Amino acid sequence: MFFTAKSILKRDPAAKSLMMVILTYPGLHALWFHRVAHWLHIHHRYLLAAIISRWSAKRTDIFIAPGAQIGRGVFIDHGVGVVIGETAIIDDGVTILHGVTLGARHAVTERRHPHIESYSFIGAHAQILGNITIGANSKVGANAVVLNDVPAYSTAVGNPARLV
């Protein structure tokens, strides 16, 4: 997790020191709790994973379902109101701003949440819904509602989101 803290320090101009990031960034704290909850989840300790996840959400105001798969160096900036669903996949180096939802559109038994590929940027209050993919190095604008795949190296804005 020090890799993630160092990654945040490099990417956030407001971060003045590694110690500041470690002690005061709720997005980093939520990711730490998620790592524990996810480990418990994959080892079939679902109740304890859910309890840790809920406790973390109350403490950080960031909800990450225990089954979500999250890569290295993910930066949840500010974090307030972020919701990441159970079958979501977030690859390495993704930046997520406050109020973002990685949610489902339909109740289905297979994967129902988005896959965010490496080094993508998700703007504040964006809603990315369903079993879709946000391609590597893509950007999703603030308040966008994304219902379809976004190709790599693209930018999606609006409601419903369109490529620009």
Q: Name the active-site residue from 41, 98, 113, 115.
A: 98
pLDDT tens string for the chain (164 positions)? 689 999 999 999 999 999 999 999 999 999 999 999 999 999 999 999 999 999 999 999 999 999 999 999 999 999 899 999 999 999 999 999 999 999 999 887 789 999 999 999 999 999 999 999 999 999 999 999 999 999 999 999 999 999 99
- pLDDT score for 119: 97
- pLDDT score for 107: 80
Please name which of 67, 80, 68, 65 lies closest in space to residue 25, comparing C-alpha atoms: 80
> Residue 43 catalytic?
no
All structural domains of the chain: 1-163 (2.160.10.10)
Segment (H or E) for 151? none
